[in-house]
Amino acid sequence: MKANSTVLTGCPFCGTGCALNVECSENGYKVKGDKTNPSTQGDLCFKPIQMAKALDAHRLTSPLYRKDKTKPFEEISWEEAITLIAQNISDLPREELYFYLSGQLLTEESYLFTKLIKGHLGINNVDANSRLCMATAVVAHKMAFGSDGPVGNYSDIDDADAIVISGSNPAWAHPVIFRRIMARKKAHPETKIIVIDPIYTETAEKSDLWIGLCSGSDTTLYNALLAEIYRRGRCDTAFIDRATEGFEDVINTVLDVPFAQSITSCGLLIEDAEVLIELFASQKKILGLWCQGLNQAVDGVMRNLGFINLFLATGRINALKGSPLSLTGQPNAMGGREVGYLSNGLPGYRDVRNLQDRTVCEDHWNLPKNTIFPMPGITITDAIDAIVNNEIKFLWVACTNPLLTLPDFNKTQRALKNSNLFLVVQDCVLSETASLANLVLPTLSWGEKEGSMTNSERFIKRVRPFKSGPDEAKSDSVIICNVAQKLGFKGFDYSDSKAIFNEYKELTKTRLCDQSTQEYESLSYQWGGKYLYADEYFATPTGKAQFHPIISSFPSPDTNTFVLITGRTKKQWHTMTRTQHVPELLRAEEHPYLLMNSEEGAKMGIQEGDIAVISNHLGDLELPVRFGKLAPRHLFAPFGYGKTPINTLVPAISDPFSFQSALKSARVTVRIKNKMAAILLMH
């Protein structure tokens, strides 16, 4: 970019989707919030402000290749790299190919992958890291409302009487949303903020009430609240009768267990639960926020639906009384889902299992009928098993680091190291996953390429370049098109990203996520309007929202183990491939740690700073101890640290509906590192 120019773009981090104003000068780049953006209104957190400093750090500058993964990489040309990919794809049966994408890809890039894989290759063996963060919310939205897509929007924060945050720590994970919540609280102190979380997070510290439930008891709590609201005659029966179905079936299941018994089994006080009951029984406007605490669980869909049931039962799907708003983890997980990058999707919120959906896409892509395979592909966790069993022999990973993010680190590592697997990784840096690859493709990064992204409230913004990348790096779109052309496929000769978007947007026409009227250059648009289903007509076959009976789970008491909860740190992003190179972001987060209750630590003879060994059947890790406040017998440790991968201890167990991994909890034992000291303490 020219010096003294200004570029409007978007943040590459969380799903809040902050719009940015980058001032370019001879002295570098100054990142500010774009105050003209109606979604985030010019606010932003510290990550994008600092990130521009590290864009050139540790960058890949040329394709790297090795036939044998135990040998060093050698630089090769792009022509050789593209030929290798095309050759491997052509030589293998389609069922032995797999692709793993990212919510950090731009919408246009994800669309091209979908077109290549599901259209021209005719396979659905593709998944994305949305499977690890948002798949559960997707399934729950489809079951309740008929389609993916969050109901409400950020502006609900500004006039909410209460904000109930369940399974999320936006002070760390979505700082701009949290600041907006705090601004509402400051201007209107009567606004109630309630946090439901086993950990006393920074968000909980700023709340009016922390409900520190035992991990796994979420559904029990939601069912108990719904039953008691019903007993007191405070459900919105008029809304239920005109706009929903299935309520009677739900009520018949939740009334069986006495209220007090349910609440105490969650490890909670009756008076704290009463606060929630009185709130939902009122006419006050409530905004419900949630994220990975509900999504990354073995019963994640049930947790989502249980929370949504409270809003449906009290008529809170509108501007007057509030709504449930799922917070998106990654910057463009929404955009990726819109183009169908999960194993069952097609562009425009279509599904490979639907004949009409397949036909529309085949026609749009000029493909013969029945080219698109009618069954979903396997998910990434199943793909890892298939790689271990030599059933998948080609894996193309784009813009993500599955070695550190997938469950069961040791199994994932074993799969990626499999000598029978040809592993392609395209990324801007040599991540832990890329270090195990056969072929590494250097890509342009944020600030160097253009496209679009969709945030948590369905707002689309343009992402524009403000600097040049390494000479040999290519955009993800160019790489995809180069491979498609090498394979002999037509329809991948785009002049620019605008041409890709214009092709894609036609597939959204008349769909819930309709973007067909938008011009690319001025793209700044919230599809669906401020509220989806403002007319109370939902995307279900009957047009009515659906209640679903929730299978309630009582956590099994276990005094021999702790529940280990994993999550984000405040300033680092996911596996730290970029943010760890920014000193201002790394400060005070250089090392991972284990958070535990001081009282429980004292009983074990553990002091803050001691090294604890946490173990289970998958392995063990050593972490320094910090004391905090959590539900009894709970621990917390951050993920993303390559030298101490916490997912070593997380088993590969998934929700049965969304197939999302239960990354948020694992059973572990704890001991202090010095065994002799431990023996003396026992005696």
Mean pLDDT confidence for 55-61:
93
Span 327-364, pLDDT tens digits: 999 999 999 999 999 999 999 999 999 999 999 999 99
Class of domain 5-54: mainly beta
What does the pLDDT read at residue 35?
A: 95
Cα–Cα dist 145/151, whole Å: 9
Distance CA 625, CA 431 (A): 27
Q: What is the mean pLDDT of the chain?
A: 95
CA–CA separation, 590 vs 588, rounded Å? 6
The phi-psi region of residue 468 (left if phi > 0; otherwise alpha if psi is between -120 and 50; otherwise beta) is: beta
Let me know: does 504 contact 514? Beta carbons within 8 Å: no
Overall residue count recorded for the chain in this entry: 683
Confidence (pLDDT) at 683: 34
Mean pLDDT on 577-591: 87
For 586-600, the pLDDT digits (tens) are 888 899 999 999 999
Residue 555 pLDDT > 90, yes or no? no
Q: What digits encode the pLDDT tens for the residues 176-189?
A: 999 999 999 999 99
The rounded distance, in Å, linking the Cα atoms of 562 and 553 is: 18
Alpha-carbon distances of 411 from 422, 458, 618, 659, 663, rounded to whole Å: 17, 36, 9, 18, 15
Read off the pLDDT of each residue in 636-656 and give the average, rounded to a whole number.
96
64-133+331-454+471-522 CATH: 3.40.50.740
Per-domain residue ranges for the chain?
5-54, 64-133+331-454+471-522, 151-326, 562-682
Give the list of residues 6+ apart from residue 653 with CB closer than 8 angstroms, or none.
298, 407, 661, 662
* Sign of the alpha-carbon dihedral angle for 379, 382, 387, 391: negative
Do strands 244-245 and 545-546 pair parallel, antiparallel, or not at all (unpaired)?
parallel
pTM: predicted TM-score of the whole model, two decimal places: 0.96
Per-residue pLDDT tens digits for 239-290: 999 999 999 999 999 998 899 999 999 999 999 999 999 999 999 999 999 9
CATH class name, domain 562-682: mainly beta
CATH architecture assigned to 151-326: 3-Layer(aba) Sandwich (3.40)
Cα-flanking dihedrals φ and ψ of residue 271, to 5°? -65, -30
C-alpha span between 377 and 337 (Å, rounded): 15
